[in-house]
Amino acid sequence: MAKMKAAMAAVLVLEKEGVTQAFGVPGAAINPLYAQLHERQTIAHVLARHVEGASHMAEGYTRAKAGNIGVCIGTSGPAGTDMLTGLYSAQADSIPILCITGQAPRARLHKEDFQAVDIAAIARPLTKWATTVMEPAQVPRAFQQAFHLMRSGRPGPVLIDLPLDVQMAEIEFDIDTYEPLPVYKPAATRRQIEKALDMLDAAERPLIVAGGGVINAEASDLLVRFAELTGIPVIPTLMAWGAIPDDHPLMAGMCGLQTSHRYGNANLLASDFVIGIGNRWANRHTGSPEVYCKGRRFIHIDIEPTQIGRVFTPDYGIVSDARAALELLVQVAQERRASGRLRERGAWAAQCHGRKADPRYLRKTHFDDVPMKPQRVYQCMNRAFGEDVTYVSTIGLSQIAAAQFLHVYGPRRWINCGQAGPLGWTVPAALGVRAADPQRKLVALSGDYDFQFMIEELAVGAQFKLPYLHIVVNNSYLGLIRQAQRGFDMDYCVQLAFDNVNMPADEVARGYGVDHVKVVEGLGCKAIRVHRPEEIAPAIAQAEAWMVEFEVPVVVELILERVTNIAMGTEIDNVTEFEALAQDRCDSPTAIATTWPD
């Protein structure tokens, strides 16, 4: 046993739990913890420009690699409330992050002290656990419990609030014998998997719907193996995009009201049986259960018991971690295949695959218009970035169109805030991804409003040498809200354009409003503005060169036409297409396989 400050015990536990990186903003009430971080020098720290930005950096860090847990740190009062959006975003998408806040001394908590707020009570609905540690000796065990909860069952965030005097108090603690608590994950049984395969075997046109739980469980390889063994096509949700590569013959497209492919919706509607693995049946994927469920039976496998039956009642439910379930599904499917008891699915899979190359199910992208249409922008991005790129995005027409037109070829290559969708998420999340992985090809994607929300975080990328490429599609509009306002016959308070008196005369005439190039350069980064499709590839090449030369984020701003309506609808069988459909194969995923896997 050794005597130490409680704040030092917290840092030592962080080290033992594998933390090597934190994001945050120091302040008076959390300075004792920062003093111990400074003394140890074992956990790297990135100084955010806004505490909400730190929480989103922690999210990006977690989402980038299996096993990561992002840590964000702030002082008392508004620092905690600023990080609530990050906690909500993490909770909604089952992402473990640890939020640490400072707090007023215990004796002043009931006296309305400066920046004293009951942040644990406020954060409780948005976390797996939120606590204010009132006894110094409980600090190391609170952190131990935090990591246990974040990793067990459905992953999610935790907040630990540390009063100033608790951090500074001395306690006895033996870090040398400390061990992380065992992680609990429910697992399917052999009997449950046998029944699930029996039900699948009775279906004529089955599909697998893979959710973000497959990504969280590092089970993408098993998902693809199970699909190949059974010949059953896969529809990934937005959170699982990349779990099966876009060009795999059994990748049947994404389904939904917005972030979907026409062929994905058509394949789902043609099915008679769906097995969902690690998914939530989110409403942007399903639309109404009445349409989504009609004419088909369902199995639902999820790590969280309360998710099964939450949206609609499946025909069979299994509580299991996605990897544990898929390991058994593969094992039993292999046994049945070896004994000749696995049903042939070639004709049905070929039907689903065929829709990916059918112009009736593809959207046109090759527009030559100036100002540019977003469809052409995404076509150019596919060609410029290839298959090994990782995209980071949040919400808006930019994200919806990206899901319709971009291609993703591996797990954790589409890093997206799926349910909460806070504007401003993209810049800090991309910085968190870059901090987690300095080498990957990283491209963030924002509309102009998302980009403006937390644009100050670009200075973090410049200061800490976190280079990445940021594509900004600028239509000077709140595009998604403008499109939604069509139902109210208005176009109200959604225009971002104005005559910026500081821009050159030819640029003022275009009415962009904010001069993103100057703002980006003022924050220590580089930027290029692009007006025509043929300028996109050279601009991206220049941006990639600058990232290497200057080691800072580089922004490529693409000027779009003001109004483009992107395909979406009220039901998966009622999606409105505003543009012409494809007339050739250029819109389909590149290098679609033409042979079936062994």
- DSSP labels for 347-389? HHHHHHHHHTT-GGG-B------SSBPHHHHHHHHHHHH-SSE
Instruction: Render pLDDT for 521-556 as a digit per residue (tens, 0 to 9).
Output: 999 999 999 999 999 999 999 999 999 999 999 999
- Give the residue, 178 or 367, on which the prediction is more confident: 178
Q: Is 577 exposed, middle or buried (0-12, 13-18, 19+ CB in 10 A)?
A: middle
Query: Could you tell me what percentage of the chain is helix, strand and coil, using 3-state DSSP and rounding each to the nearest 5?
Result: 45, 20, 40
Confidence of residue 423 (pLDDT cuts 50, 70, 90): very high
Residues of the chain with CATH 3.40.50.970: 2-177, 364-566
Residue 152 one-letter amino acid: S
The span from the CA of 124 to the CA of 156, in Å, is 12
Give the angle 342-346-347 at the CA atoms, nearest 5°.
125
- CATH number for the 190-358 domain, one of 3.40.50.1220, 3.40.30.20, 3.30.200.20, 3.40.50.2300? 3.40.50.1220
Q: Is 490 exposed, middle or buried (0-12, 13-18, 19+ CB in 10 A)?
A: exposed
The span from the CA of 231 to the CA of 237, in Å, is 19
CB atoms within 10 A of CB 578: 11
Distance of CA 520 to the CA centre of its chain: 24
DSSP 4-41: EEHHHHHHHHHHHTT--EEEE---GGGHHHHHHHHHH-
The span from the CA of 42 to the CA of 435, in Å, is 15
Q: Provide the pLDDT for residue 570.
A: 92
Over residues 165-189, mean pLDDT? 96
Q: Catalytic residues, which ones? A: 25, 51, 423, 478, 481
Helix (H) or strand (E) holding 277, with range, is strand 273-277
Q: What is the dihedral of CA 193, 199, 205, 206, to 10 degrees?
A: -30
CATH number, domain 364-566 = 3.40.50.970
Over residues 580-585, mean pLDDT? 60
User: Which residue stretches of 392-457 are H helix?
Assistant: 397-405, 426-436, 448-453
CB atoms within 10 A of CB 493: 9
Distance of CA 529 to the CA centre of its chain: 27
- Give the residue, 577 or 255, on which the prediction is more confident: 255
Q: Which two tokens stand for residue 92?
A: 């909604």
The span from the CA of 494 to the CA of 486, in Å, is 12
The span from the CA of 266 to the CA of 264, in Å, is 5
Specify the 3-state DSSP secondary structure of 336.
helix
- Percentage of the chain with pLDDT > 70? 96
Of the candidates 218, 186, 178, the one whose C-alpha atom is nearest the C-alpha of residue 68 is 218
Tell me if 161 sits within 8 A of 80, measured CB to CB: yes
Instruction: Render pLDDT for 231-279 as a digit per residue (tens, 0 to 9).
Output: 999 999 999 999 999 999 999 999 999 999 999 999 999 999 999 999 9
DSSP 178-193: --PPPPP-----HHHH
Residues of the chain with CATH 3.40.50.1220: 190-358
Tell me if 207 sits within 8 A of 271, measured CB to CB: yes
Confidence of residue 490 (pLDDT cuts 50, 70, 90): confident
CATH H-level, domain 2-177: superfamily: Thiamin diphosphate (ThDP)-binding fold, Pyr/PP domains (3.40.50.970)
Q: Which two tokens stand for residue 522?
A: 């003022």
Which region holds residue 412: left if phi is over 0, alpha if psi is between -120 and 50, else beta?
A: left
The span from the CA of 201 to the CA of 195, in Å, is 10
The span from the CA of 455 to the CA of 474, in Å, is 14
Q: What is the pTM assigned to this prediction?
A: 0.93
- Please give the span between the terminal C-alpha atoms of the chain, in angstroms, as a whole number: 59
Which residues, other chains included, contact 51 with Cβ-Cβ below 8 Å and sequence gap of 6+? 24, 25, 72, 74, 78, 79, 82, 83
The structure tokens 């109200």 sit at: 492
Q: Provide the pLDDT for residue 503.
A: 79
Which residues, other chains included, contact 337 with Cβ-Cβ below 8 Å and sequence gap of 6+? 229
Instruction: Render pLDDT for 27-69 as a digit per residue (tens, 0 to 9).
Output: 999 999 999 999 999 999 999 999 999 999 999 999 999 999 9
Walk across the sheet containing 273-277 and list its strands.
234-236, 206-210, 273-277, 297-302, 316-319
